[in-house]
Amino acid sequence: MKKTLLVFMFMLLGLNMTAFAGVPKSIAYQIMVLNPENGRIMANEKVALRIEIRQGNESGNVVFGQDFNTTTDKNGTCNISLDIPENMDWSKDDYYFATLINGKLSGASRIASVPYALMANELSGVITRSELIGTWKLVPNTEGNTADIDNGEDIEDFTELSYTFNENGTGTSIQVKKPEGHGNTVETYKTYTFKWAITPTGILVLTNMLEKSTGEKNREYTRQYHAHQFPIVKIAEDKCMFPIIDTDRNENYILIKQ
């Protein structure tokens, strides 16, 4: 059976950037290539990559594309640098990063708060382990976050979103979301426990993850994940962009250190 490649892309803002009028225009990426059939890394493999920025939705108009022929390392990763157009207007619409491997679409992820960091020119670099330790929370009306967590109207509203990273390498995340309609009047409450580490390039690695969730009709379930990896983008002192821990979502929000 022909292998299908699955790619995890991590935006490493703050690395290998070229300035244009004080604003970065070159974005470094680290890409991990996995075999979706067994989750194993594809080490020392030649791959043809194409990264596209699509406007409006996952299948939208391609406003930028760049091709790469590269080889993964022993860890299944490779590094590339995207030369983003200088006239890119991030405020115009929603944008999606799409990845094509050997000519086939591997996936597309919506860009949430990243353009804010680019436009505001507030990026301070890669966060360190000591800086990450502590509790980070969503603060209402934080500039740069999307409306669906600030305006109190949309069905995806969070009433609480937080991460806590302990010195001993353990941590927790709490997500409380407002009722999603359809007769549901109960908040969805999720807690995650995990072990964590942060790479020198700002990639957060979570292992031994356990999710506990309650929601409609107080139904409760538990599920376990082996590992997740996310980029943490440091925008300013005590201000970082974090992902939503959810396999069905590709969203990032700015959290403030408490």
* Closest C-alpha among 3, 9, 1, 93 to residue 46: 3
Q: What is the model's pLDDT at position 138?
A: 86
Most confident among 70-79, 120-129, 169-178 (mean pLDDT)? 169-178
Whether residue 133 has pLDDT greater than 90 = yes
Where residue 164 falls among pLDDT bands split at 50, 70, 90? very high
The larger pLDDT score, comparing residue 170 to residue 219, is at 170
Q: Which domains are seen in the chain, by residue range?
A: 26-121 (2.60.40), 125-146+155-257 (2.40.128)
DSSP lists the bridge partners of residue 198 as 204
Tokens matching residue 82: 């995207």
Contacts 24+ apart (CB under 8 A), 146-152: 146/112, 146/113, 146/251, 146/253, 149/253
Q: What is the model's pLDDT at position 149?
A: 43
Tell me the pLDDT tens digit for each residue of 233-252.
787 788 888 877 764 555 67
The larger pLDDT score, comparing residue 89 to residue 191, is at 191
* Closest C-alpha among 154, 192, 190 to residue 175: 190
Q: What is the model's pLDDT at position 73?
A: 84
The larger pLDDT score, comparing residue 43 to residue 223, is at 43
Q: What is the model's pLDDT at position 257?
A: 94
* Closest C-alpha among 145, 91, 95 to residue 119: 91
Whether residue 172 has pLDDT greater than 90 = yes
Q: What is the model's pLDDT at position 90?
A: 67
Q: What is the model's pLDDT at position 25?
A: 54
